[in-house]
Amino acid sequence: MKKKKIKKVQVRSFSPKANLIFNIIIALFAISCILPFIFVIIISLTQEDYLTNHGYTFFPEVFSTEAYKYIFSGTMSEKIIHAFGISVLVTVVGTIVNASMTSLYAYVISRKYFPFRKFFTIFALITMLFSPGMVANYLVVTNMLHLKDTLWALILPLALGPFNILVMRTFFRKTVPDSIIESARIDGAGELTIFLKIVLPLAVPGIATISLFAALGYWNDWFNALLYIQNDNLVPLQYLLMQIQKNLQYLTQNAGMSAQYAGGMASLPSESVRMAIVVISTLPIALTYPFFQKYFVGGLTIGGVKE
């Protein structure tokens, strides 16, 4: 018996100097991503008079929390807390609905034995390329579905996205082999059992990815609230903050129309309030990203069929 020669695979490695250079480049890139948000936080904590006289700077001499006091003052704080709860509820429920519907749709069209997979794939692709328009969406949501002034008007319009469907379709085709599905069928498992107990554990990285996309979309959405929500108790945080900014801008621009209110309007922290609104709207979703990142890294090591 002749012994087979085992080919050694050479792994290319970089020198310590090259690794140091690459680490410095990556560190600079990471800092460049974080630095703008830190700058926004600093501006939101800077006194308005100092911003007017000296402009934006990383090292202001005078700090102030007037912007946050203005946003959370009086009845406004109750509205912001309530709107924050609405946004959290819509984001959580919407993300679950979006991930569930997207995964089911993508899994079906990823299987070669499904006879209508080409039709539903082209159907999803067409909806991504051609939009029905704002008027058609408004008529469907309000007149046909009767969802006006309900939380479902903030959830269902974003419940299924063609881009996420195509992403998950590719993920299922590359990650879930047909041999696993066939083995489960031989053991007597049904389609729902296969999907819940076999496919979903293998698809954790893909589901985490589309869930992050969906959560960002729901959290940053204010346009659907503008179209479908007239009840103040159902207004999400993004739309409420946009209203605060518009009201503040209107008061500042029209301060000279009345001498009685000119002094009070001039003292409003307009610039710092704008930055504080950015911090309030961005910080919660930024804090949730590490939880998704854990699934990104952990799910990549999930194996498939062992030979």
CATH number of the domain that residue 213 is part of: 1.10.3720.10
The Cα 201–Cα 260 span in angstroms is 65
Instruction: Quote the number of domains for the chain.
Output: 2
Q: Specify whether 49 is located in the same domain as 123.
A: no
**Does residue 286 fall inside a structural domain?**
yes
The answer to which of 155-169, 194-208, 215-229 has the lowest mean pLDDT is 194-208
C-alpha pair distances (Å), 214 with each of 61, 92, 153, 217, 301? 41, 10, 16, 5, 24
Task: Answer yes or no: are the C-beta atoms of 90 and 218 closer than 8 Å.
Answer: yes
Q: Specify whether 114 is located in the same domain as 256.
A: yes
Q: What local confidence, expressed as pLDDT, does residue 92 receive? A: 92
Residues 97, 99, 103, 104: what is their CA dihedral angle, to the nearest 10 degrees?
A: -10
Task: Answer yes or no: are the C-beta atoms of 202 and 175 closer than 8 Å.
Answer: yes
pTM: 0.76
For the beta carbon of residue 48, count every other beta carbon within 10 angstroms.
Answer: 20
Q: Specify whether 240 is located in the same domain as 177.
A: yes
Percent of the chain with pLDDT over 90: 8
The Cα 289–Cα 296 span in angstroms is 11
Q: What local confidence, expressed as pLDDT, does residue 96 receive? A: 93
Question: Which comes out higher in pLDDT, residue 235 or 190?
Answer: 235
Question: Which comes out higher in pLDDT, residue 177 or 252?
Answer: 177
Q: What local confidence, expressed as pLDDT, does residue 112 receive? A: 82
The Cα 265–Cα 261 span in angstroms is 6
The answer to whether residue 250 scores a pLDDT higher than 80 is: no
Nearest to 239 by CA among 227, 226, 230: 226
Q: Specify whether 226 is located in the same domain as 276.
A: yes
Residues 75, 77, 244, 286: what is their CA dihedral angle, to the nearest 10 degrees?
A: -170
Q: Specify whether 155 is located in the same domain as 251.
A: yes
Q: Specify whether 216 is located in the same domain as 166.
A: yes
The answer to whether residue 134 scores a pLDDT higher than 60 is: yes
Look at residues 64, 92, 122 and tell me which one is the last residue of a structural domain.
Answer: 64
Look at residues 64, 81, 104 and tell me which one is the last residue of a structural domain.
Answer: 64
Q: What local confidence, expressed as pLDDT, does residue 101 receive? A: 92
Q: Specify whether 130 is located in the same domain as 261.
A: yes
Q: What does the pLDDT look like over 96-132, one tens digit per residue?
A: 999 999 999 988 888 888 888 888 888 888 888 887 8
Q: What local confidence, expressed as pLDDT, does residue 305 receive? A: 38
Range of the domain at 201: 69-299
Q: Specify whether 133 is located in the same domain as 76.
A: yes
What average pLDDT does the structure give for the chain? Answer: 79
Give the DSSP letter of residue 198: I
The answer to whether residue 31 scores a pLDDT higher than 70 is: yes
